[in-house]
Chains A and B, each alone.
Chain A
Amino acid sequence: AQSVTQLGSHVSVSEGALVLLRCNYSSSVPPYLFWYVQYPNQGLQLLLKYTSAATLVKGINGFEAEFKKSETSFHLTKPSAHMRDAAEYFCATTLSGFGNEKLTFGTGTRLTIIP
Protein backbone atom coordinates (compact mmCIF):
# COMPACT_ATOMS: atom_id res chain seq x y z
CA ALA A 1 0.00 0.00 0.00
CA GLN A 2 1.15 3.53 -0.66
CA SER A 3 2.06 5.89 2.16
CA VAL A 4 3.83 9.15 2.89
CA THR A 5 5.99 10.16 5.83
CA GLN A 6 6.50 13.75 6.83
CA LEU A 7 9.67 14.42 8.75
CA GLY A 8 9.27 17.06 11.42
CA SER A 9 5.89 17.79 12.94
CA HIS A 10 6.91 21.40 13.62
CA VAL A 11 9.14 23.67 11.56
CA SER A 12 9.99 27.29 12.41
CA VAL A 13 11.66 29.67 9.99
CA SER A 14 12.29 33.39 10.02
CA GLU A 15 10.35 35.64 7.69
CA GLY A 16 12.27 35.84 4.41
CA ALA A 17 14.14 32.58 4.99
CA LEU A 18 13.92 29.38 2.96
CA VAL A 19 11.05 27.03 3.76
CA LEU A 20 11.76 23.30 3.44
CA LEU A 21 9.12 20.74 4.43
CA ARG A 22 10.04 17.11 3.97
CA CYS A 23 7.97 14.27 2.59
CA ASN A 24 9.03 10.75 1.66
CA TYR A 25 6.76 8.32 -0.11
CA SER A 26 6.47 4.58 -0.24
CA SER A 27 4.80 3.03 -3.24
CA SER A 28 5.29 -0.03 -5.39
CA VAL A 29 3.93 1.77 -8.44
CA PRO A 30 4.33 5.33 -9.70
CA PRO A 31 2.36 7.53 -7.34
CA TYR A 32 0.55 10.76 -7.63
CA LEU A 33 1.81 13.12 -4.93
CA PHE A 34 0.24 16.25 -3.50
CA TRP A 35 0.88 19.01 -1.02
CA TYR A 36 -2.09 20.57 0.76
CA VAL A 37 -2.20 23.52 3.17
CA GLN A 38 -4.66 23.88 6.04
CA TYR A 39 -5.27 27.11 7.92
CA PRO A 40 -6.82 26.94 11.41
CA ASN A 41 -10.37 25.58 11.43
CA GLN A 42 -10.40 25.40 7.65
CA GLY A 43 -10.46 22.68 5.04
CA LEU A 44 -7.51 21.75 2.88
CA GLN A 45 -6.31 23.71 -0.14
CA LEU A 46 -4.23 22.11 -2.87
CA LEU A 47 -0.81 23.72 -3.25
CA LEU A 48 0.58 21.51 -6.02
CA LYS A 49 0.52 18.00 -7.45
CA TYR A 50 2.96 15.62 -9.13
CA THR A 51 1.63 13.52 -11.97
CA SER A 52 4.88 12.32 -13.63
CA ALA A 53 4.78 15.03 -16.31
CA ALA A 54 7.68 16.97 -14.75
CA THR A 55 9.81 16.33 -11.70
CA LEU A 56 9.81 19.98 -10.59
CA VAL A 57 6.31 21.11 -9.83
CA LYS A 58 5.35 24.72 -9.25
CA GLY A 59 2.32 25.52 -7.17
CA ILE A 60 0.44 28.44 -5.73
CA ASN A 61 1.77 31.06 -3.32
CA GLY A 62 5.35 30.61 -4.54
CA PHE A 63 5.72 27.00 -3.41
CA GLU A 64 7.34 24.27 -5.44
CA ALA A 65 8.28 20.63 -4.94
CA GLU A 66 10.70 18.27 -6.62
CA PHE A 67 10.01 14.58 -7.19
CA LYS A 68 13.18 12.53 -6.62
CA LYS A 69 12.65 8.87 -7.36
CA SER A 70 16.14 7.89 -6.17
CA GLU A 71 15.38 9.37 -2.75
CA THR A 72 11.63 8.58 -2.77
CA SER A 73 11.10 12.19 -1.77
CA PHE A 74 8.78 15.05 -2.64
CA HIS A 75 9.94 17.93 -0.46
CA LEU A 76 8.13 21.27 -0.50
CA THR A 77 10.13 24.49 -0.72
CA LYS A 78 9.64 28.22 -0.88
CA PRO A 79 12.58 30.60 -1.28
CA SER A 80 11.29 33.31 1.05
CA ALA A 81 8.79 32.76 3.84
CA HIS A 82 5.92 35.18 4.49
CA MET A 83 3.91 35.52 7.68
CA ARG A 84 0.84 34.33 5.79
CA ASP A 85 2.54 30.97 5.16
CA ALA A 86 2.01 29.99 8.79
CA ALA A 87 -0.27 26.94 8.58
CA GLU A 88 -0.33 23.15 8.64
CA TYR A 89 1.01 21.39 5.55
CA PHE A 90 0.11 17.88 4.48
CA CYS A 91 1.77 15.63 1.96
CA ALA A 92 -0.58 13.10 0.36
CA THR A 93 -0.51 10.34 -2.20
CA THR A 94 -2.79 8.23 -4.28
CA LEU A 95 -2.12 5.48 -6.78
CA SER A 96 -2.23 6.56 -10.39
CA GLY A 97 -4.86 4.90 -12.52
CA PHE A 98 -6.14 2.66 -9.76
CA GLY A 99 -9.75 3.56 -9.31
CA ASN A 100 -11.11 5.65 -6.52
CA GLU A 101 -8.22 8.06 -6.06
CA LYS A 102 -8.63 8.26 -2.31
CA LEU A 103 -5.86 10.21 -0.68
CA THR A 104 -3.50 8.90 1.97
CA PHE A 105 -2.12 11.77 4.04
CA GLY A 106 0.95 12.23 6.15
CA THR A 107 0.67 13.42 9.73
CA GLY A 108 1.33 17.03 8.81
CA THR A 109 3.95 19.69 9.51
CA ARG A 110 3.04 22.86 11.34
CA LEU A 111 4.96 25.80 9.91
CA THR A 112 5.62 28.78 12.15
CA ILE A 113 7.05 32.00 10.76
CA ILE A 114 9.19 34.08 13.09
CA PRO A 115 8.91 37.84 12.45
Chain B
Amino acid sequence: DTGVSQDPRHKITKRGQNVTFRCDPISEHNRLYWYRQTLGQGPEFLTYFQNEAQLEKSRLLSDRFSAERPKGSFSTLEIQRTEQGDSAMYLCASSLAGQGAPEAFFGQGTRLTVV
Protein backbone atom coordinates (compact mmCIF):
# COMPACT_ATOMS: atom_id res chain seq x y z
CA ASP B 1 0.00 0.00 0.00
CA THR B 2 1.36 3.40 -0.94
CA GLY B 3 -0.47 5.50 1.60
CA VAL B 4 -3.26 8.03 1.24
CA SER B 5 -3.64 9.37 -2.27
CA GLN B 6 -5.54 12.43 -3.42
CA ASP B 7 -6.59 13.49 -6.86
CA PRO B 8 -6.11 15.97 -8.41
CA ARG B 9 -3.03 17.54 -6.81
CA HIS B 10 -3.92 20.94 -8.20
CA LYS B 11 -7.17 22.46 -9.44
CA ILE B 12 -7.78 25.90 -10.85
CA THR B 13 -11.40 26.80 -11.36
CA LYS B 14 -13.48 29.85 -12.12
CA ARG B 15 -15.69 31.29 -9.43
CA GLY B 16 -19.12 29.72 -9.51
CA GLN B 17 -17.99 26.37 -10.92
CA ASN B 18 -18.34 23.07 -9.08
CA VAL B 19 -15.30 20.98 -8.20
CA THR B 20 -14.87 17.46 -6.86
CA PHE B 21 -11.85 15.97 -5.14
CA ARG B 22 -11.13 12.33 -4.47
CA CYS B 23 -9.31 10.64 -1.61
CA ASP B 24 -8.21 7.02 -1.46
CA PRO B 25 -7.28 6.10 2.12
CA ILE B 26 -5.01 3.33 3.32
CA SER B 27 -7.02 0.22 2.55
CA GLU B 28 -7.54 -1.16 6.06
CA HIS B 29 -8.31 2.22 7.64
CA ASN B 30 -11.92 2.67 8.68
CA ARG B 31 -11.74 6.38 9.51
CA LEU B 32 -11.35 9.10 6.91
CA TYR B 33 -11.01 12.81 7.56
CA TRP B 34 -11.05 15.96 5.47
CA TYR B 35 -9.16 19.06 6.55
CA ARG B 36 -8.69 22.47 4.94
CA GLN B 37 -5.48 24.44 5.18
CA THR B 38 -5.15 28.07 4.16
CA LEU B 39 -1.87 29.90 3.70
CA GLY B 40 0.02 30.37 6.93
CA GLN B 41 -2.42 28.35 9.00
CA GLY B 42 -2.66 24.87 10.39
CA PRO B 43 -5.16 22.40 8.95
CA GLU B 44 -8.75 22.80 10.14
CA PHE B 45 -11.11 19.87 10.54
CA LEU B 46 -13.99 19.71 8.06
CA THR B 47 -15.61 16.30 8.41
CA TYR B 48 -14.97 12.66 9.13
CA PHE B 49 -16.32 9.23 8.25
CA GLN B 50 -16.25 5.95 10.04
CA ASN B 51 -16.69 3.40 7.30
CA GLU B 52 -19.44 4.87 5.09
CA ALA B 53 -21.12 6.93 7.80
CA GLN B 54 -20.40 10.65 8.01
CA LEU B 55 -20.35 11.19 11.74
CA GLU B 56 -19.35 14.82 12.20
CA LYS B 57 -19.25 17.99 10.15
CA SER B 58 -17.54 21.21 11.16
CA ARG B 59 -19.36 24.52 11.06
CA LEU B 60 -16.74 25.43 8.46
CA LEU B 61 -18.52 23.10 6.08
CA SER B 62 -21.16 25.30 4.49
CA ASP B 63 -24.11 23.98 2.52
CA ARG B 64 -22.04 24.29 -0.65
CA PHE B 65 -19.77 21.50 0.58
CA SER B 66 -20.71 17.84 0.51
CA ALA B 67 -18.65 14.76 1.22
CA GLU B 68 -19.37 11.12 0.61
CA ARG B 69 -17.77 7.79 1.25
CA PRO B 70 -20.23 5.49 -0.47
CA LYS B 71 -18.68 2.09 0.11
CA GLY B 72 -16.50 2.89 3.07
CA SER B 73 -13.43 3.06 0.87
CA PHE B 74 -12.64 6.18 -1.19
CA SER B 75 -14.23 9.52 -0.44
CA THR B 76 -15.19 12.55 -2.50
CA LEU B 77 -15.46 16.17 -1.45
CA GLU B 78 -17.56 18.41 -3.69
CA ILE B 79 -17.72 22.17 -3.56
CA GLN B 80 -20.59 23.78 -5.41
CA ARG B 81 -20.59 27.36 -6.68
CA THR B 82 -17.00 27.94 -5.68
CA GLU B 83 -15.97 31.25 -4.15
CA GLN B 84 -12.53 32.84 -3.93
CA GLY B 85 -12.53 32.14 -0.22
CA ASP B 86 -12.57 28.43 -0.98
CA SER B 87 -9.00 28.67 -2.27
CA ALA B 88 -6.98 26.42 0.03
CA MET B 89 -5.23 23.09 0.34
CA TYR B 90 -7.69 20.28 1.01
CA LEU B 91 -6.11 17.43 2.94
CA CYS B 92 -7.42 13.94 3.43
CA ALA B 93 -6.27 11.66 6.23
CA SER B 94 -7.10 8.15 7.34
CA SER B 95 -6.64 6.15 10.51
CA LEU B 96 -7.61 2.89 12.12
CA ALA B 97 -10.06 3.33 14.97
CA GLY B 98 -9.59 1.48 18.23
CA GLN B 99 -5.81 1.47 18.16
CA GLY B 100 -5.25 3.67 21.18
CA ALA B 101 -3.72 6.98 20.22
CA PRO B 102 -4.79 7.72 16.67
CA GLU B 103 -2.13 7.87 14.01
CA ALA B 104 -3.56 9.79 11.10
CA PHE B 105 -1.82 9.40 7.76
CA PHE B 106 -2.21 12.35 5.42
CA GLY B 107 -2.33 12.53 1.67
CA GLN B 108 -0.39 15.14 -0.28
CA GLY B 109 -3.45 17.32 -0.61
CA THR B 110 -5.37 19.01 -3.39
CA ARG B 111 -4.56 22.67 -3.86
CA LEU B 112 -7.61 24.59 -5.07
CA THR B 113 -7.32 28.01 -6.63
CA VAL B 114 -10.54 29.86 -7.43
CA VAL B 115 -10.08 32.71 -9.91
Residues of A within 8 A of B (CB): 9, 32, 36, 41-46, 49, 51, 90, 92, 94, 96, 100-108
Could you tell me the dominant secondary structure of chain A's interface residues?
A: loop
Q: Which residues of A contact B48 (CB under 8 A)?
A: 100, 102
User: Per a CB cutoff under 8 Å, which of A32, A36, A102, A104 touches B101?
Assistant: A32
Contact B45 A42 (CB under 8 A): no
9 closest Cβ pairs, A-B complex: A105-B42, A43-B106, A51-B101, A101-B102, A44-B106, A102-B45, A43-B108, A32-B101, A43-B107
Contact B104 A46 (CB under 8 A): yes
Q: Which residues of A contact B105 (CB under 8 A)?
A: 46
Residues of B within 8 A of A (CB): 4, 6, 31, 33, 35, 40-45, 48, 50, 55-56, 91, 93, 95, 97, 100-109, 111
Contact A43 B4 (CB under 8 A): yes
- Per the bound structure, the CA–CA distance linking A46 and B41 in Å amounts to 17
Q: Which residue of A lies closest to B95 (CB)?
A: A101
Contact B45 A103 (CB under 8 A): yes
Contact A96 B107 (CB under 8 A): no
Contact B56 A49 (CB under 8 A): no
Contact A90 B108 (CB under 8 A): no
Q: Which residue of B lies closest to A33 (CB)?
A: B101
Kindly provide the distance from the CB of B55 to the nearest chain A CB, expressed in whole angstroms: 6
Q: Which residue of B lies closest to A105 (CB)?
A: B42
* Cross-chain pairs A/B with CB under 8 angstroms, 20 sampled: A36-B106, A42-B108, A43-B108, A44-B91, A45-B106, A46-B103, A46-B105, A51-B101, A94-B102, A100-B48, A100-B55, A101-B97, A102-B33, A102-B56, A103-B33, A103-B35, A105-B43, A105-B44, A107-B40, A107-B41
